[in-house]
Structure 1
């Protein structure tokens, strides 16, 4: 389970780097493919917000139930952060769709929205990776992990971008990522 979470986090981090690079290009007055940005946000909306974060919420609640909710504000706070991330993702997705449907949105607003979104996501990932997941790994037993796996089974969906089957809706983004890796 932890391996899957770490892998998801690495994939999300890769996509946040794409968003960050796009924001930099926008800052420099260069054109960017907004469809790529929208596809990244769409993926985060559909996979991270609908599968990854709910799976983590179950894990974190299991931990809180096991150790008691006292002195565990950081772990408890993550479910609240997941809601904030979902709201930020929805808002950025709506802004991108407005632009792609020819609504006028100032470049500076789009840049700021992307940068704020990336920072929010990165701060959250760092907290989980550096502080919370190591705590859970030290605390939970093999039996606990078996119980958690059973509880999250319905949240464990195939990753539509990085998974083996690959969702057709993300073909363009997958191709973009493969081409950007070969250029580095």
Structure 2
């Protein structure tokens, strides 16, 4: 298996961890509880930064190589670039909703819960589609030469939350996430 596929799957697992933590906080909020707003905002900030800056560009390179080098095999594949644009728009809307919440805006609790649940469900659906269709196709048809070209095109950037050293602005979220997982046995995987 190509290293990039392993990296993308690991990133999906990490994203799923964040969605698990966010989902837990949303359910606390839905039950009129007081969620950990640091986790909620940290997850929203992470989704604004990492997927668009690091994760999606990797997938986009693999997708472009698939479409260019193996157009027949890639013909029936969904439009990943369009999906990533939709993901970006969804993340921006979700972040704006969280900003409204934290800004003490007069927004109904039910609206926030519905927006967060929809965001989580659509993010999981997007990853599952990639895991079920895109990544297996890439593994099956891309050659060693294809992978070498993809690897050469990738600029390195560490994941600011799950890399060996969490970037300073995500260090607090990393600690909160690890505490939450230890306390609640956070589910792992792309579920």
TM-score, length of structure 1 as denominator length: 0.92
Q: Give the Cα separation in 2 of the matches to 1:11 and 1:69.
A: 32
CA 1:146–1:71 in structure 2 vs 1: closer, same or farther (change >3 Å)?
A: closer
Residue 3 (structure 1) aligned to one of 3, 6, 13? 6
1:39 equivalenced with 2:42 (yes/no): yes
Query: Residue in 2 aligned with 1:101?
Result: 103
Q: Give the Cα separation in 1 of the matches to 2:73 and 2:137.
A: 15
Query: Residue in 2 aligned with 1:181?
Result: 181
Q: Give the Cα separation in 2 of the matches to 1:179 and 1:19.
A: 13
Q: CA deviation at 1:71?
A: 6.1
Divergent runs of 4+, >3 A:
none
Structure 2 segments unaligned to the other structure (5+ residues): 186-191
1:160 equivalenced with 2:160 (yes/no): yes
Query: Residue in 2 aligned with 1:86?
Result: 88
Q: CA deviation at 1:181?
A: 2.3
RMSD: 1.5
Q: Give the Cα separation in 2 of the matches to 1:53 and 1:88.
A: 14
TM-score, length of structure 2 as denominator length: 0.89
Q: Describe the superposition over 1:55-101 as per-residue Cα deviations: whole angstroms up to 9, x where unpaired.
A: 211210110011226862424x1111111111111111111112212
Q: How many residues align?
A: 181
Q: CA deviation at 1:119?
A: 0.9
Tell me which of the two structures has the higher relative contact order, counting C-alpha pairs closer than 8 angstroms and 6 or more residues apart.
2
Q: Give the Cα separation in 1 of the matches to 2:60 and 2:174.
A: 28
5 Å-filtered alignment, 1:7-156, equals 7-68=10-71, 72-75=75-78, 77-151=79-153, 153-154=154-155, 156=156
Q: CA deviation at 1:143?
A: 1.1
